[in-house]
Structure 1
Amino acid sequence: MADSGIKTRVAVAGLGAIGADVVKALDRGIDGLALVAVSSQDPGKHRAWLAELKTQPKVLPIADLADIADIVVECAPSKLVRSIVAPAVERGKTAVVLSVGALLQNEDLIGLAAENGGQIIVPTGALIGLDAVTAAALGTIHSARIVTRKPIAGLLGAPYLVENDIQIEGITEPLRIFEGTAREAAKGFPANLNVAVALSLAGIGPDRTRVEIWADPTVTRNTHRIEVDADSARFSMTIENIPSENPKTGRITALSVIACLRKLRAPLRIGT
């Protein structure tokens, strides 16, 4: 495919561990894409490394990103998802969403995208096998389950633990702290269980997808095992993700976003 020279403009909302990696990758260069803007709740905190970029993006309020970008990448706290995604899809543009759990509290955003010709893209993120789940969902999926094991630091402060007075600091053996649906998991662990919601949206929905969460002092990696039983295939997969600077998020999450962006204009695209 010949390069027309016209680049797709990209903005990144959120400059934490994931957002910063995405910004730096865009600045190094992804074919067909140009970084035009970023947004942060504390822009001053990031001024030094932003100044070192080859091309300086504009630093804008979240609501203004969709005015100048074709694609807005959400790498922010889940409470900000609506303010990032709605302006983009209302304008018929694309929003790449990492805090996919928040879509369950803002399901109308999908309809908003449909009405205006916009699109919401959820990268594979820290999970494995979403292509297979998406394909199986075209037939009949009988059951889908995910078992997540995380180090203690990656779960501290989760609303479900606070509300139920579950203490995990100092435990010496693995402790199952939650069992329920993906919808319930997303509400109780908004910073941890985007993987469960992504699995549910690819497959049989958040109310039929089952989730187990373990606080495990014996592991150093965020581990997810999915088990799917469908009329086309039965499969199980496990991934062990090395935490990023933010213990709640794996390093592979940022790489997944970058891979997703590369796919958008790639001459060869692998995977559905």
Structure 2
Amino acid sequence: MNAFTSPRRRPMRVAIAGFGAIGGRVAQALDEGIPGFELAAVAAQDKGKAARRMEQLRNPVPVLDIAELEPVADLVIECAPAVLLPAIAEPFLREAKSVVVLSVGALLAQEHLVALARQHGGQIVVPTGALLGLDAVAAAAEGRIESVRMVTRKPVRGLLGAPYLVENNIRIEDIREPMRVFEGTAREAAKGFPANLNVAVALSLAGIGPDRTMLEIWADPELQRNTHRIEVESDSARFSMSIEGIPSENPKTGRITPLSVIACLRKMTAPLRVGT
């Protein structure tokens, strides 16, 4: 039985791996109080900076190495670079604990994590993040989905440095009009834009998979917000959705992403749960 369904009298202890724009905001919410949860520890690459940021909380917790998190927590929230996902998730999954994953694209390259969760009774949870409508897509997937297409438009600064752009020598720094920089599958996008397109992978996992979910990515010098439009054709419904997210202090991440994690935590223990 995993950490979400086990009866507990004490609050569930939460560790946060990564203490930047997302991890810091989630830690703040836990410090202010989320029923059924308490912040136990954080891990950060720059421990000094993290310790100074920790002083702003009412109830500071230890700043640890990633390897030290599992013994002190029941659940870990991954807010770190994608390459660190196995090191963060594996210890928790082996102990039948839960992992909230934001680097969703990394799951496609680390499929053993799902097998590990299944083997030991752990659970991997993917919040909605900067997307919307995953409930509708998951419901449609119980029938037959014909196609899922997503068009993402981002400010130039939010795409700079993406491996796909570097490898293909695509320069966007000085563009003056919208430029399509990618068209392909969600799996391909996850490899080429690991810090940008976790939303596309989440969409694919809710629906018809990363090899059938199609994606376009546009760099737009006039945009101030990250925009995503999704179109779904299925035997139960035809629907489209659009969202414009305001970037956080990290231009690759929207402000709504940490709020989605906070909402996910509240939903786990709420007496009334709305949504699939």
Match of 2:275 in 1: 271
Match of 2:3 in 1: none
Whether 2:103 is the aligned partner of 1:99: answer yes
Whether 2:29 is the aligned partner of 1:18: answer no
CA distance in 1, matches of 2:183, 2:144: 24
| Superimposed CA distance per residue, residues 123-156 of structure 1 (whole angstroms, 9 cap, x where no aligned partner) | 0000010000011111111100110000000000
| Superimposed CA distance per residue, residues 198-244 of structure 1 (whole angstroms, 9 cap, x where no aligned partner) | 00000000000001000011211000001111111111000000000
Tell me which amino acid in the other structure corresponds to 1:75: C
Deviation at 1:170, TM superposition (A): 1.0
Tell me which amino acid in the other structure corresponds to 2:234: A
Match of 1:44 in 2: 48
Deviation at 1:56, TM superposition (A): 2.0
Deviation at 1:188, TM superposition (A): 0.1
The equivalent position to 1:79 in structure 2, one of 77, 83, 88, is 83
CA distance in 1, matches of 2:219, 2:189: 14
Whether 2:151 is the aligned partner of 1:147: answer yes
Q: Is the 8 A contact 2:14 2:76 kept in 1?
A: yes
CA distance in 1, matches of 2:228, 2:134: 13
**1:64-213 mapped onto 2 (5 Å cutoff):** 64-213=68-217
Q: Which runs of 4+ in 1 moved over 4 A?
A: none
Deviation at 1:196, TM superposition (A): 0.4
Tell me which amino acid in the other structure corresponds to 1:116: H
Gaps of 5+ in 2: 1-6
Match of 1:259 in 2: 263
Gaps of 5+ in 1: none
Q: Does 152-161 or 261-270 show the bigger shift?
A: 261-270
Deviation at 1:5, TM superposition (A): 4.5
Q: Does 4-13 or 110-119 show the bigger shift?
A: 4-13
Deviation at 1:52, TM superposition (A): 2.8
Q: Does 14-23 or 3-12 show the bigger shift?
A: 3-12
Tell me which amino acid in the other structure corresponds to 1:247: P
| Superimposed CA distance per residue, residues 85-140 of structure 1 (whole angstroms, 9 cap, x where no aligned partner) | 11111110000000100000101100100000000000000001000001111111
CA distance in 2, matches of 1:17, 1:52: 14
Q: Provide TM-score, normalisation by structure 1.
A: 0.97
Query: What is the alpha-carbon root mean square deviation over aligned residues?
Result: 1.1
CA distance in 1, matches of 2:233, 2:50: 45
Whether 2:239 is the aligned partner of 1:239: answer no
Count of residues in Structure 1 that have an aligned counterpart in Structure 2: 270
